[in-house]
Amino acid sequence: MSIDSQQAFTDDERELAGMVREFADEVIAPRSYEADRAHELPLDIVAQMGELGLFGLPFPEEVGGQGGDYAALCVAIEAIARVDQSLAITLEAGVGLGAMPLYRFGSDAQKAEYLPDLVSGRALAGFGLTEAEAGSDAGATRTTARLDGDEWVIDGSKQFITNSGTAITSYVAVTAVTDRSGDRPEISTIIVPRDTAGFTVGPAYDKVGWNASDTHPLTFDAVRVPAANLLGERGQGFKNFLRTLDEGRVAIAALATGAAEGCLEAAVDYARSRTVFGERLSTKQNVQFTLARMHARVHTARLAWVHAARLCDAGKPFAVDAAVAKMTASDAAMANARDATQIFGGNGFMNEYPVARHYRDSKILEIGEGTTEVQLLVISRALGLAGSTVAA
């Protein structure tokens, strides 16, 4: 494209973006349609992503990482999401929901056992938060864990858990109520290895989009794991979850920006090549204006997530900025998918075209990692308006 829309990046980030974009175009894109149709995560591509160091981007070199920061991870997520949201969310969840909580809150023994494989992309981990009545409202969690001697006994269920049932999933970190005696439930996070007795991974969901992403319901029937599997301090699961969710919103905003950009790139190429009534579609002013608005959305979404990521990496408060970025970028992804599909006409309704898959995939960006309504709650509270007690 003639407009350089990556001026918000540093030179190193632009170099990283170029490398990942090339990989996405040459390796991921040719496989995206078949992976989507087969509802199958291509683990060989995940392995190649690991070999490129993408799963280790925000981790220090002493634990096997690339020594980068959270912004670097988001640059890679955005570049992949242009062509395949399923693999982008696999990376986002693999790092943000899998490896990062372990790195930040895990014991030395837990890190030694699991972190090397997670950081290298040889393994994935899930984060078991969402339930039928609990998501952003984590206080409604019904899954319980009680100590019986030197073991936790876990009962309950989770739903919509990413990376929870792949052949390389090593564990799921589960939020559970460990005490109800106080004014509010005590929520802790516990590591449950994949082959633990009583831990059942249900059949994969038949989803509208993100078909190549691994997503399952989970059940825990008197699951016993060692007391040492507590991830972080007891009772800090809710607090730790909030930090994880805030970072996740920045990463989802980057993913949504990539989706919006992928739609723009495809629509520009199609408009230039498509002839209607003897003229290129790109010569029609209404199409030109539509593409201009699509570019503006990409530009604004990128500025929003980069700003939030910079605050995160600097150790400054960023929760409100993450909410703004997540809402802005998910709106951009949905709007650009709609406009790109319209420009493609009938072809935009065919799944072999990337814009059709983006049209299906992008809706979840307004739901996952906190709905648009939750982002509005976060922002309105920051304005000093009377808020609800729903956790965000």
With beta carbons less than 8 A apart as the criterion, state whether 330 and 365 touch: yes
- Cα 333 from chain centroid (whole Å): 14
Round the CA-based radius of gyration of the chain to a whole number and report it: 21
What are the angstrom distances between the C-alpha of 68 and each of 43, 48, 64, 135, 286?
24, 19, 11, 30, 42
With beta carbons less than 8 A apart as the criterion, state whether 80 and 87 touch: yes
The catalytic residue among 13, 92, 265, 369 is 369
Amino acid at 283: T
Q: The dihedral of CA 136, 137, 139, 141: what is its sign?
A: negative
Q: Determine whether 368 is exposed, middle or buried from the number of CB atoms within 10 Å of its CB (0-12, 13-18, 19+).
A: buried
Determine whether 233 is an active site residue.
Answer: no
**Catalytic residue set:** 369
